Amino acid sequence: MKNKSTLPIFLAFLCMGFGDVVGPMVSLAKETFELTNFAATLLPFSGFLMFGLLSIPMGIYQDKKGKKKVLLIGLTIAFIGLLLPILSGMYGPIIQFSGNDLQSKFYIILGSILLLGAGATVLQVSGNPIMRDVSAPGRYSSNLSLGQSIKAIGSSLGFLLPPFALMAGMDWTLLFPIYAVLILGTIGLTKSLNVVEIKHEDESPASFKSCMQLLKNKYVLMMVLTIFVYVGAEVSMSSGIPILLKEEFGIEGFSLWLSWGLFFLPILIGRFSGAAILTKIKPIKFLFATVIISIAGVLLLLFGNSITAYTGIILVGLGFANIFPLVFSITVDHLPERANELSGLMVTAIVGGAFIPPLMGFVADSTSVLLGFLVPLGCLVFILFSAIVASKKV
């Protein structure tokens, strides 16, 4: 990084991770609100839907008003989303819901996730390209992986805090006030952030039309679709693993901790390691290797034996760790003068987290929880194809 004033950017990446709370929340809400697998996946649908609706408009707005302003907007939206359940009495103490009250509280959670998704969308649109502004030449991929590592810490809180809350005689809604305090602190630091945004002489103003025209580039279209299926696969894994551990292997009570240890801890380790590895090898080679590891992991998971399944989950976490920052940075480096439009398009593709998990939930309800993991496997096969094509382009 160029200077210590980039601390707010890292904190913004931490706050991006709060949007990933929809992963572990699927299993938590499934039990609290007595939902089917399909109904529970409406939580990630509501959150990730905002990526499809807001990303391009915010990319265009950002091109005119600047990344710092958009960063603050994203933090504020997420903060408002966290206030909804807090003001409705869901801030940690165990409260028994029933009947209409149970239904109304579920709708409040849906609304909260919707706004958290909107905030995370705006943060992704601004955070990923602003990292380029503060990165030394040739270090963008490495720094973006480091930022995504910080984001993984924020994501991990959704797995780590609920069991602690249970031990303290509280419930998983304790996440909301903790997230709110962290976001409020980040807003305060971001206001003093000083960033000189990189401009290109031949860069024309971004517009909806200019964003859509980029999709005529087959390479860009393929990479956008790669982000779509990758995010769908990751959310499917993070939401499906706690359910798998409980229903297939009988892990009760601490399934979230085990899920974090098997899946998100390897992601965290993989991202910090990836930031170092990318200073030594080319991003496209690293992308190819990570996808192969991910596919091998899902295949082991499908065997159904607990030992191979646990090993497979760890491999998937290690493989998933750097796919998003690699695809994002490889694509932006391909057309750096269109960074804002590309950011809008690729963050729009995060909407895959809304559509693929319900498909996995439908397959799981129709067959078994284990066979539901065929859906993320199919996504990884597509990513492998994209990596092969990209390796010939770069």
Residue 233 in domain: yes
Does 198 reside within a domain? no
Q: What is the pLDDT of residues 252-269, one digit of tens each?
A: 766 778 888 999 899 889
Token pair 């909301």 is found at 176
The residues near 66 (Cβ < 8 Å, ≥ 6 apart) are 197
Taking phi over 0 as left and psi of -120 to 50 as alpha, with beta for the rest, 342 belongs to alpha
Residue 1's pLDDT is: 42
Residue 366: what pLDDT?
A: 93
Model confidence pLDDT, tens digit, residues 327-377: 988 998 888 878 778 888 988 998 998 899 899 999 999 999 999 999 999
* % of the chain residues with pLDDT over 70: 94
Q: How far apart are the first and last CA of the chain?
A: 25
Question: In this structure, is residue 153 part of a structural domain?
Answer: yes
Q: Round to whole Å and give the CA distance between 222 and 201.
A: 27
Q: How far apart are CA 384 and CA 294, in angstroms?
A: 10
Q: Please give the pLDDT value at position 209.
A: 86
Share of the chain above pLDDT 90, in %: 41
pLDDT at position 394 is 67
Q: What is the mean pLDDT of residues 176-196?
A: 90
Residues 6+ apart with CB under 8 A from 234: 320, 324, 353, 376
The answer to whether 196 touches 133, Cβ cutoff 8 Å, is yes
Where is pLDDT greater, at 190 or 304? 190
Q: Does 200 map to a domain?
A: no
Query: Does residue 90 sit within a domain?
Result: yes
Predicted pLDDT of residue 337? 78
Number of domains the chain is built from: 1
Domain extent, residue 291, equals: 4-193+205-393
**Residue 64 class from Cβ within 10 Å (0-12 exposed, 13-18 middle, 19+ buried)?**
exposed
Please give the model's pTM, rounded to 2 decimal places.
Answer: 0.79
pLDDT mean across residues, the chain = 87
> Is residue 231 within 8 Å of 346, Cβ to Cβ?
no
**Who wins on pLDDT, 39 or 121?**
121
In contact, 41 and 26? CB cutoff 8 Å: yes
Say yes or no to pLDDT of 281 above 50. Answer: yes
**Whole-angstrom distance, CA of residue 140 vs CA of residue 138:** 6
Q: Give the pLDDT confidence score for residue 70 in this predicted structure.
A: 94
Angle at which helices 339-348 and 42-65 pack, to 10 degrees?
Answer: 170
**CATH at 46:** 1.20.1250.20
The answer to whether residue 185 sits within a structural domain is yes
User: Which of the two residues, 98 and 191, has the higher pLDDT score?
Assistant: 191
When pLDDT is cut at 50, 70 and 90, the band that residue 2 belongs to is: very low
pLDDT over threshold 70, residue 203? no
Under the banding of pLDDT at 50, 70 and 90, the label for residue 201 is low
Mean pLDDT of 60-74: 91
Contact in structure between 213 and 341 (CB atoms under 8 Å): no
Instruction: Indicate the helix (H) or strand (E) that contains 199.
Output: none
| Residue 115 is assigned to a structural domain of this protein | yes
Q: Is residue 199 assigned to a domain?
A: no
